[in-house]
Copies of this chain bind each other. A is one copy, B any other.
Amino acid sequence: MTNSFHPPQRTLMGPGPSDVSPRVLAAMARPTIGHLDPEFIRMMDEVKSMLQYAFKTDSPLTMPISAPGSAGMEACFVNLVEPGDKVIVCQNGVFGGRMKENVERFGGQAIMVEDDWGKPVDPAKVTAAFAANSDVKLLAFVHAETSTGVMSDAKQLCQIARDNGALTIVDTVTSLGGSELDVAGWGIDAVYSGTQKCLSCPPGISPISFSEKAVAAIEKRETKTPSWFLDQKLVMGYWGAGAKRAYHHTAPVNSLYAFHESLVMLEEEGLENAWARHQLHHNALRAGLEAMGIGFLVEQQYRLPQLNSVMIPTGVDEAEVRRRLLADYNLEIGAGLGALAGKVWRIGLMGAACNKQNVLLCLSALENTLAAMGADIRTGKAIAAAESAYS
């Protein structure tokens, strides 16, 4: 016989999932009701409205996809890319590569614009790619690269796309709720995100939003979307603005309770206050790490406050450090992905996990562990440096 599972109580400071507030966990455990129950429909309307606030858009086509962020990405590409379409895809980390996979699997032609991992997307290269290719339908890029901790200039990149008559697909999985994002103001046409980063909700839901222009492009498709589950024309029948909701698939009822509560908490805090909180604690963490002699992968002006890619001290067995942090402090930090594996750790300060206690825990635990393993770091300075960043 298998026993019930009782997870340890971790502090989640990796690249996501982040710590989930007890309020959100409590919401998730409320009694399940039907996905067509009038009370559930009322809750869905509130989710849509709060999500519009979080994304900064009035678009009625703003809703959560019933699956994780990867499915949100796929929902954007599968609906907007038709066979033969040209898509400029910017790659400066893992997730740009996944975008390329999406374009190609749906029959599109991916025109790659590459930048080093840890650098932002270079707008000049994007401009050049438009100049070198005619009839580009879409520009796709990652706003906040979870694999590197770098922020690209979404506003400027969207402007370039617009100047060239192209639509935009933007990955905001790690930026939503953590740093400035203005979907309507910047003119993003298709945006997707995740719940398990700066919204501090368990993973499993992907919020998305489409602009009017994106909807028009979907409506004039000549081929059927090669997915039934993610076909937005069908999903809209359930999440749409009409009074009558048509059954499409069974919504993940309890996951949506949790998402609703995380959005209520964002509304209570205020979007701009949430952005400022992420910056504040990032500043303190950075001061502490630098006092220890640990540097950052990303130049300061492009750094995401919520995801800190820091250089692993020379000669340290990085997996053993993470293993000890988990075993001795119940603290999770992230490994490097792809080209950055073994070179950086990814320290998240996302959502509910972005607070002073966690900054101090992380600095203390990392310093103790690295010192015990004989790493070349400065000790005894980090906590004071972090404290002074707060004052």
Contact = CB atoms under 8 A, between A and B. Distances in A.
Given A8-B39, A101-B228, A28 B29 contact: yes
Contact of A225 (B8, B105, B263): B105
Nearest to A260: B5
Most buried by B among A104, A253, A260, A263: A253
Interface stretch (A15-23, A130-138, A159-167): A15-23
Contacts of A257: 5, 7
Interface string A34-61: 1101111001001001100000000000
A155 B131 CA distance: 60
Contacts of A33: 7-8, 10, 12, 17, 332
Interface in A214-273: 224-229, 247-255, 257-258, 260-261, 263-264, 267-268
A19 B1 contact: no
Contacts of A70: 228-229, 248-250
22 contacts: A2-B46, A2-B260, A2-B264, A2-B267, A4-B27, A20-B32, A25-B32, A25-B254, A28-B29, A32-B196, A67-B67, A68-B251, A70-B250, A71-B71, A74-B227, A78-B227, A102-B228, A196-B250, A203-B251, A204-B204, A252-B252, A252-B255
Number of copies: 2
Contacts of A23: 4
Contact of A31 (B4, B10, B104): B10
A1 B228 contact: no
A187 to B, nearest CB: 26
Nearest to A46: B2
A106 B228 CA distance: 10
A68 B66 contact: yes
B31 A25 contact: yes
Contact of A252 (B49, B203, B225): B203
A50 to B, nearest CB: 6
SS class, residues of chain A in contact with chain B? loop
A314 interface: no
Most buried by B among A12, A25, A28, A50: A28
Contacts of A26: 29
A5 B357 CA distance: 29
Nearest to A50: B2
Interface residues of A, number: 82
A202 interface: yes
Contacts of A98: 228
Q: 5 shortest A-B CB distances, which residue pairs?
A: A204-B252, A29-B29, A67-B67, A70-B249, A202-B254
Nearest to A333: B34
A74 to B, nearest CB: 5
B227 A227 contact: yes
A34 B257 CA distance: 21
A50 B4 CA distance: 12
Contacts of A37: 7, 10, 326, 332
Interface in A88-105: 98, 101-102, 104-105
